[in-house]
Amino acid sequence: MRVLKCLIVFVVILIAACANLSVINQTDKLRNALNDYGTALRWGSYNHAYAFHFDQEGNRPVVDMNALEKFSVTDFRPVDPVVNEDGTAATVPVEIDYYDEQYGTLKKFKYVQNWWFNTEIKRWLTSSDFPVFE
């Protein structure tokens, strides 16, 4: 009987550890997605960054890609992302520094992105609007 109790406790601990590993894996995938997204913005690959923008219904924000040509993103910083308990949604405050080539000015803005994990394609996406550079 004692062996059975020990076995049950061991199985419960093992299941809890595996569930925690799943959330850690999701968090790592989010970190990679944010890095890819930020890299795409910094290199001016706005189409690549735009590919992350889908809500859960498959809708995308309207973006004038031609208007983005006069801006250069110099930095993209996620600030303390908050991931939900099961690792499928995250709220990510971001700070973006960019250069306005028309006026020769460096600007900064902050906004909050909402990210969600698409289980079908196993990829993090953002349901937030595309960054607006003014």
d(CA 128, CA 26): 19
Q: CB-based contacts of 120: which residues, under 8 Å, 6+ apart?
A: none
Q: Which two tokens stand for residue 25?
A: 């894996």
The set of long-range contacts for 37-41, using a CB threshold of 8 Å and a minimum separation of 24, is 37/76, 37/126, 38/76, 38/77, 38/78, 41/73, 41/76, 41/96, 41/131
Q: Going from the N-terminus, what domains does the chain have, and what CATH number goes with each?
A: 2-126 (3.10.450.50)
Owner of token pair 């600030």: 79
Q: For residue 53, what is the DSSP state?
A: B
Q: For residue 90, what is the DSSP state?
A: E
Q: How deeply is 31 buried, as exposed, middle or buried, from its count of CB atoms within 10 A (0-12, 13-18, 19+)?
A: middle
**What are the pLDDT tens digits along the chain (134 aa)?**
665 554 454 444 444 444 444 567 889 999 999 999 999 999 999 999 999 999 999 999 999 999 999 999 999 999 999 999 999 999 999 999 999 999 999 999 999 999 999 999 999 999 999 999 98
pLDDT the model gives residue 19: 45
The CA-atom distances, in angstroms, between 8 and each of 1, 12, 19, 121 are: 11, 6, 17, 35
Owner of token pair 């906004």: 111
